[in-house]
Amino acid sequence: MRPDNPLIVQSDRTLLLEVAHPAFEQVRDELARFAELVKSPEHIHTYRVTPLSLWNASASGVSCQDILDTLDQWSKYSVPQNLIQEIQDHGTRYGRLKLVRKGDRLALEMDDRGLFWEIENQKSLQGLLAEPYPDQRGVFLLDGKRGEVKLQLIRLGHPVQDMAGYKDGDPLAFQLRDTLGSSGRPFRLRTYQKAAADVFHAGGGPEGGAGVLVLPCGAGKTIIGIGCMERLQTRTLVLTTNVTAVKQWKQELLDKTTLTEDQIGLYTGDTKEIKPVTIATYQILTYRRSKEAPFEHFKLFEAANWGLVVHDEVHMLPAPVFRAVAELQAKRRLGLTATLVREDGKEEDVFSLIGPKRVDVPWKVLEKDGFIATAHCLEIRVPLPTDERMEYAVANQRQRFRIASENSMKLIVVDELLKGHPNDPVLVIGQYLEQLRVLGARLNAPVLTGQTPEKERERLYGEFKTGQLKVLIVSKVANFAIDLPDASVAIQVSGTFGSRQEEAQRLGRILRPKGDRNISYFYSLISRDTTEQEFARNRQLFLTEQGYRYLIESRYFQESGLLSEPIVWPQLLEETGG
């Protein structure tokens, strides 16, 4: 027994880490390599070792012995024997099944005949596998089943190490610029950006060319994607979340590479260009005239001899695109995201069809080095006014969430927060359009929603970037892939139930570096003693997982809901160590 250590390792695969321990940050970062954060209140953070977390660890080079050494070094008590066995079992599964190329055919190879017999008798694999090797150490795949075999096997608990390599695609020669095209300033990849591209490429070997890179919003995931493209020098299809992101990708490519206008095509609702680099939205790919009709634009996947498909915001990958990716396994695939959390729990599908997690850079590491802004996070718990409390009491569960989200007292709090940031660019973010319109009229600020025409969006983004516009009110349309480098304050007035994914994206809107005073403020307004408060706990998990201290304030409100005294919120945050 070592009582001075900060970690308790339990037989149910949970790990309890003491936040107050001097080695907390070091142990947290070591655990993040092979365990998933479950909950993180003030004093004890709970992690869980899962099969997927172990497979991602194995794919990134973390051995079972590395994991056991970490647990043994920091645990107060002996590591339970059953957990040791579990780690050795699941942690060694990645690599037992290898997908290889045998001439012009694909095959699964394994050293264990028992594993061969298990696979051969699985109903879910029937119709996917062809004849076995004579020595029963492998089995050929039927043509076109590479992705489906990997998907079914991971669901059976057997992740596949894909060593079959990829088709090169048509060549596309270009270089990264030494200076930015827009300003002439020097340009080169940051150290971590270059390292991420190198890990993905893996020297061009069979293990390179497929995987997910997890980095904070503001860390330059688009630039890393461009770095991966430059390594491969091949025709590339980029898939992203919306038309604004499509245009931002094009601008970044023109600004930072020698690619020209006539080499970059946009494939959206308005434009259908197929060029050596083609940038499309997930929405256009999943469009069909009816539920029974085919996906009309899936032909884009085969429209050119792509050598790389980039999946921006890969955690948003729609189910139909998953099915298409299952058939695209001969092409290199890059996933980019700030968080691999999927609300549908399909992280395993991302692992098997896009590739394992290759890079996961802690947000606080980049903050410490000045590559992203230091974020102060504060949840302000606002009481419901008496009349709204009465309405809340008789409502059903879904109505309650909306009543709490649209709490009218939040308007007063927004006013007070803006007083504390008179010169800062502020994003007010919410879920419900009527609430946002009320705020827009109250603050005399524009409201940007999914219905806002693309030209109007671009105008508003442009005015916000140049400082002409200090307050911009946005719906969930601004959660993803929006480049607003000068935003330093985000006020979240409502959100999507308990979405950790959304919390990550919203915080990411304000994390781009800010120069000398590299600080941002993230305020989340929550109705006190309501279902919204319960859901907010889950959203906080992402922030605390990344090492942020998430403060909660409710003491400055009278029973009427009015502020009892004027508050300078940024000063309060900094004084309390936010």
Residue 209 scores a pLDDT above 80? yes
pLDDT digits (tens, 9 = 90+) for 427-468: 999 989 999 999 999 999 999 988 888 888 888 888 888 888
* CA distance readout (Å), 569 to 256, 454, 522: 39, 34, 11
Domain membership of residue 133 (yes or no) is yes
Question: What pLDDT score does 573 carry?
Answer: 57
Regarding whether 343 and 280 lie in a shared domain, the answer is yes
Domain membership of residue 169 (yes or no) is no
Question: What pLDDT score does 121 carry?
Answer: 86
Question: What pLDDT score does 321 carry?
Answer: 85
Question: What pLDDT score does 203 carry?
Answer: 80
SS3 call for 48:
strand
* CA distance readout (Å), 426 to 375, 503, 521, 539, 549: 14, 17, 9, 21, 21
Regarding whether 344 and 317 lie in a shared domain, the answer is yes
* CA distance readout (Å), 296 to 16, 243, 268, 320, 503: 50, 18, 13, 12, 33
Give the DSSP per-residue string, 225-265: HHHHHHHH-B-EEEEESSHHHHHHHHHHHHHHBS--GGGEE
Regarding whether 310 and 388 lie in a shared domain, the answer is no
Residue 569 scores a pLDDT above 60? no
- 289: Cβ–Cβ under 8 A, 6 or more apart, which residues? 296
Question: What pLDDT score does 390 carry?
Answer: 93
Domain membership of residue 176 (yes or no) is no
Last residue of a domain, one of 361, 396, 430: 361
Average pLDDT over every residue of 407-419: 91
Domain membership of residue 45 (yes or no) is yes
Regarding whether 37 and 105 lie in a shared domain, the answer is no
Regarding whether 254 and 385 lie in a shared domain, the answer is no
Domain membership of residue 467 (yes or no) is yes
Average pLDDT over every residue of 268-284: 92
Regarding whether 443 and 322 lie in a shared domain, the answer is no
Residue 309 scores a pLDDT above 60? yes
Residue 236 scores a pLDDT above 80? yes
Residue 214 scores a pLDDT above 50? yes
CA distance 139 to 132: 4
Average pLDDT over every residue of 129-149: 90
CATH number of the domain encompassing residue 397 = 3.40.50.300
> Where does the pLDDT of residue 320 fall: very low under 50, low under 70, confident under 90, or very high at 90 and above?
confident
pLDDT digits (tens, 9 = 90+) for 159-171: 999 999 888 899 9
Residue 88 scores a pLDDT above 90? yes
CA distance 320 to 349: 12
Mean confidence (pLDDT) of the chain: 86
Domain membership of residue 186 (yes or no) is no
Percent of the chain at pLDDT above 70?
Answer: 89
> Where does the pLDDT of residue 345 fall: very low under 50, low under 70, confident under 90, or very high at 90 and above?
confident
Q: In the structure, how many helices (H) and strands (E) does the chain have?
A: 21, 23
Contact 354, 314 (CB under 8 A): yes
Question: What pLDDT score does 290 carry?
Answer: 86
Domain that holds residue 206: 191-361
Regarding whether 66 and 103 lie in a shared domain, the answer is no
Domain membership of residue 535 (yes or no) is yes
Between 466 and 69, whose confidence is greater?
Answer: 69
Domain membership of residue 177 (yes or no) is no
Of 32-46, 56-70, 250-264, 543-557, the one with minimum mean pLDDT is 543-557
